[in-house]
């Protein structure tokens, strides 16, 4: 499983829907997204979109010889709300705590850490061993 499944799922989605398509027109959605003005945005017009690469939480979409690099927290212009449901549908356990695992039928569990959480299938991913949950561990001391 990739380190960042949401980012990897979005990369795969963009590859499937954008690679080979030609950019017809480019309009900035906000001035804050422009970090440079050279080359001008019009240089992207008429260029084919290439494959998408992932560098940690950053996505890089090739457009002709140029790269459009974005961070997921800043990807407002990618119809991110619409993509969330589609990318989640490709993930087996992410965001599905309490639901049955689509592979083995065991209940998908959630584990909380100090500043994040994750979902996993105990049977498929940990050999049946439940992971320690920060919420419950504090209560048992």
pLDDT tens digit sequence for 34-90: 666 678 888 889 999 999 998 888 889 999 998 888 876 654 444 655 556 655 666
- Identify the three-state secondary structure at position 130: coil
pTM of full prediction above 0.75: no
Best CA proximity match to 47, nearest among 76, 17, 75, 67:
67
Quick check: 98 pLDDT over 80?
yes
Instruction: Please give the domain boundaries of the chain with CATH numbers for all domains.
Output: 5-89 (3.20.190.10), 92-141 (1.10.8.50)
Share of the chain above pLDDT 70, in %: 73
Which residues are CB-neighbours of 62 under 8 A, at least 6 positions away? 49, 50, 51, 52, 53, 68
Which carries the bigger pLDDT value, residue 39 or residue 106?
106
Arithmetic mean of pLDDT, 17-26 = 92
């Amino acid at each position: 499983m990739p380190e960042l499944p949401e980012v990897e799922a979005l990369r795969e989605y963009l590859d499937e829907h954008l690679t080979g398509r030609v950019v017809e027109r480019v309009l900035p959605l906000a001035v804050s997204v422009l970090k440079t003005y050279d080359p001008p945005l019009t240089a992207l017009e008429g260029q084919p979109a290439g494959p998408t690469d992932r560098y940690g939480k950053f996505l890089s979409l090739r457009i002709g010889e140029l790269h459009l690099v974005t961070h997921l927290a800043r990807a407002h212009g990618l119809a991110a709300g619409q993509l969330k449901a589609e990318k989640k549908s490709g993930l087996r356990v992410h965001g599905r705590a309490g639901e049955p695992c689509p592979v083995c039928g065991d209940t998908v569990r959630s584990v909380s850490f100090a500043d994040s959480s994750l979902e996993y299938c105990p049977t498929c991913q940990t050999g049946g061993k439940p992971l320690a949950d920060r919420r419950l561990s504090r209560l048992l001391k």
